[in-house]
Structure 1
Amino acid sequence: MTGDALAITAFGGGHGLAASLSALRRITAHLTAVVTVGDDGGSSGRLRAELGALPMGDLRMALAALAGTDGWSTTWTDLFQHRFGGDGPLAGHAVGNLVLTALAERAGSPVAALDLAASLLGVDGRVLPLSCDGIDIVADVTGLGAGSGAIADIGAGTGTGTGTGTGTGTGTDRPVDSVEPGKSVEVRGQAAVATTPGRVEGVRLVPAAPAACGAALAAAEAADWIVLGPGSLYTSVLPHLLVPDMRAAITGSRARRVMVLNLVAQPGETAGYTPEAHLHALATHVPGLRLDVVIADPAAVDDPEPLARAAADLGGRLHLSSVRAADEPALHDPERLAAAFRAVFAPGSQADVGRAAVPVPPRPVDERSWRDRGAACVDPSGVGCSTTGGRGHRIPSGECKE
């Protein structure tokens, strides 16, 4: 399939996902964004703590990246992106986060809320959460020593799901100055993991097996291409692959898979990582994951040979293409990234080499097909919310990133 006929599902969060969506919308009209729900900082974190709501920051950013360009759509998009100033209770909140939270409360479903907002903003495509339930990101970090000023959550934090996304933690916070040098400590929460001064050795989710959004699972199954990254490795990309249902959907999909590498290392989270180190971390956390293509900017790759070998270890090939913005070398340029995607997606490209033609079952026409094949938790909006959840719909909790 080519052009507008390509079905593409992009996974990520924050500014990285917004960058890929801004490029992909230039290529296809059949585009779905699946957004991580692991944030606990900023406006999103406050809404999570105060209301037990699904933090909407990354979801809002994805909607804005896919919003229409007519006057009505741009007016609403600008409003959704507006942040209150001052130092009062609303300071720092994005209007869109509040509106999406209110829509989810009224509709009883984050999926329905996002679809309503997409109509308001003239979104070309669809934006979905990774899960309708809350997810915490927990990292094992070394190198937290005296003078770092960081706070570690020592001990296992536990949560109690109440159907409203609320929970309680039993971890003990203490300054890392008291941590033995070289000792691995647990750092909990997206905001803390993203800014840790130590080295992340591995990440996991709490709960360990959250239910994936059924509509997002269907999008992974129906895709021609699955796009991972760019974005924060441990807090935007890997969480999708740590949700068991979604990992199975991504690794088992007939879709081809492309990974877009960051242009620079993320301060704290992946400081000092080489490009190939990102792929090694991916392989370590997700055994059995196969990629078809890895896209990297040549200016961000000192030596392409180790990166090409790391891509080959995952079953893929390296595609070097200048994708950075001319005036902002740490940011992807939408037009350049779109050109790289077109080259990779083109029929007869090297991504097709070695792939046997095998019969595939018909794709579901819509998300109801997924639900009818066994999704247990039914979202009030009419789509399957999970393949593993309990009876009925659970009010969402969770996180995003803004």
Structure 2
Amino acid sequence: MTRPLRVVAFGGGHGLAASLKALRLTEPALELDITAVVTVGDNGGSSGRLRAERDAQLPPGDLRMALSALADDTPGHQTTVQLLQHRFAPVGKQDRRAAAASSAPQSADAASRAPEGDAANTSPRSGNAGIEEHAETAGETGKAAEKAGWGGVDRRIASVGGKHDPLAGHAVGNLLLLGLLELMDDPVEALRHAGWMVGAKGQVLPMAEHAVGIEADVRGGDPARPEDVVTVCGQHAVAVTPGHIEALRIDPPAPPACPAALEAIGAADWLIFGPGSWYTSVLPHLLVPELAAAIVASPARRLVTLNLAADNETAGLSVADHLAALHWYLPELRIDVVLADAKWVGEPDPVHRAAEALGARLVLAPLATADGSPRHDPESLGTALVPVLGDDR
């Protein structure tokens, strides 16, 4: 009997969720053993508040989204997913339940109209039903938090209409994961238990054992000085910054990688990167030294799924530039397949050449949703993945 294909998918936010849903949908044609390795730099929204206020070991938002994407389709498990994705609206809302339900698609899955990836998850005008927008415009507390790299989180965010409302804006799943992490003191065990709760068809792991900071040198990051390079701190700030990112770092520069993730990479048949926000979801994995070494040493084949459209952090970058960035941050990386949407990729020749420079062949297929928005359709992506992942079976 043929063993399952071991697939490790890297990323975070909406992009990774779309990839994981697509992999699940290949089940009738392929038997997969799926591992999601999730970035741990998120410091915006609910995750940022929990990092700032509770010193959370890991930001739970992207982990929650990955678990939800892998959840079993049975009604009981899907009810649990709805619970995990439920976001508390302010007490002052006339109908808090309706308000939370209306905000859930933006904050919880790829139904958002914004481009996929962390930019969709952390934009001041997405998710949390406007709660995070309040944080972005708050006073000195928010400015101090931004300076410290906490994404402009204002701890007064929980005060709505003069009433203390500490739950407003939090997803239930974020609080659940925070509790499991504190209870078990082992992120792998905590995530395994959460996976059991939703009947996850695979495992979810953090890329590192503790949260990291993300910072970038950005030319034009300060609109008042468009030619100057400034340092932008925090995943949220990097995701929404104007200007051109010239260098990306994580802090600390060599965090301990999750041992279970290293083991999964070493045993994998396929490693999948993207889609997702390039600088805050995809590239951070290549900046963890232990993780990068494991990726290079793995006998697995490697696939890159390209985004459909640029977001704030990649404004001005061509599709080929996205591939060049992978080589810039990990020169030893070799890719086997680059998967892109035939309509959104634009002129294919530069992308063909960029793929060949990484040792890859370019596969073009319809991947986007039918409504014309720049989002991957999990069913279409899954259909495209079947012949690629299963070509040696």
- TM-score band (shorter)? 0.7 to 0.9
Q: 2:385 aligns with which of 341, 349, 353?
A: 341
In structure 2, what residue type is equivalent to 1:59?
Answer: L
2:188 to 103, 106, 111: 111
Matching residue within 249, 262, 271 for 1:217: 262
| 1:273 maps onto 2:349 in alignment | no
User: Whole-Å Cα distance in 2 between the matches of residues 227 and 249 of structure 1?
Assistant: 14
Counterparts in 2 of 1:109 and 1:319: CA distance versus 1, 3 Å:
same
CA contact (8 A) 2:340 2:362 kept: yes
C-alpha distance in 2 between matches for 1:276 and 1:243? 24
Counterpart secondary structure, 1:185: strand
**Which of 18, 33, 57 does residue 30 from structure 1 map onto?**
33
- Determine if contact 2:59/2:211 at 8 Å carries over to the other structure: no
Post-superposition CA distance 1:6-36 (Å, at most 9, x none): 1101000000000000001123341000000
Q: Is the 8 A contact 1:202 1:285 kept in 2?
A: no
Give the Cα–Cα distance (whole angstroms) in 1 for the partners of residues 296 and 369 of structure 2. 31
Flag the 1:320–1:273 CA change in 2: closer, same or farther, 3 A: same
Gaps of 5+ in 2: 91-159
Task: Report 1:88-103 matches (<5 A).
Answer: 88-103=165-180
Aligned residue in 1 for 2:19: 20
Letter in 2 for 1:340: A
How far, CA to CA, are the matches of 1:144 and 1:100 in structure 2?
A: 34
**Separation in 2 of the partners of 1:187 and 1:125?**
35
Q: CA contact under 8 A between 1:292 and 1:316: conserved in structure 2?
A: yes
Residue number among 57, 62, 69 corresponding to 1:65 in the alignment: 69
Higher RCO (C-alpha under 8 Å, 6+ residues apart): 1
- Farther-moved stretch of structure 1 (255-264 vs 103-112): 103-112
Amino acid at match of 2:227: G
In the alignment, which of 319, 323, 326 is matched to residue 282 of structure 1? 326
* Structure-1-length-normalised TM-score: 0.76
Question: C-alpha distance in 1, partners of 2:372/2:55?
Answer: 37
1:295 equivalenced with 2:339 (yes/no): yes
Structure 1 counterpart of 2:13, one-letter code: G
TM superposition shift of 1:348: 4.8
- Deviation of residue 334 (structure 1)? 1.1
Structural mapping, 1:144-223, within 5 Å: 144-145=221-222, 148=223, 177=224, 180-223=225-268
Q: CA deviation at 1:280?
A: 1.1
CA RMSD of aligned residues (A): 1.4
Residue equivalent to 2:46: 43
Identical-residue share of aligned pairs (%): 54
Match of 2:88 in 1: 84
- Verify the 8 A CA contact 2:244 2:316 in the aligned structure 1: no
CA distance in structure 1 between the aligned counterparts of 2:329 and 2:24, rounded to whole angstroms: 30
In structure 1, stretches of 5+ residues that fail to align are 149-176, 350-402
Q: Distance in 2 between matches of 1:181 and 1:68?
A: 48
Contact 1:323 1:333 in 2 (8 A): yes
Deviation digits for residues 24-82 of structure 1 (CA, Å, limit 9, x no counterpart): 11233410000000011100000001111111000000000001111220111100000
TM-score, normalising length from structure 2? 0.78
Report SS of the residue matched to 1:300.
Answer: coil
The reply to whether residue 249 of structure 1 matches residue 310 of structure 2 is: no
Kindly state the Cα deviation for residue 328 of structure 1 after the two structures are TM-superposed. Answer: 4.5
Higher helix share: 2
For 1:121, the equivalent position in structure 2 comes to: 198
Q: Which residue of 2 aligns with 1:132?
A: 209
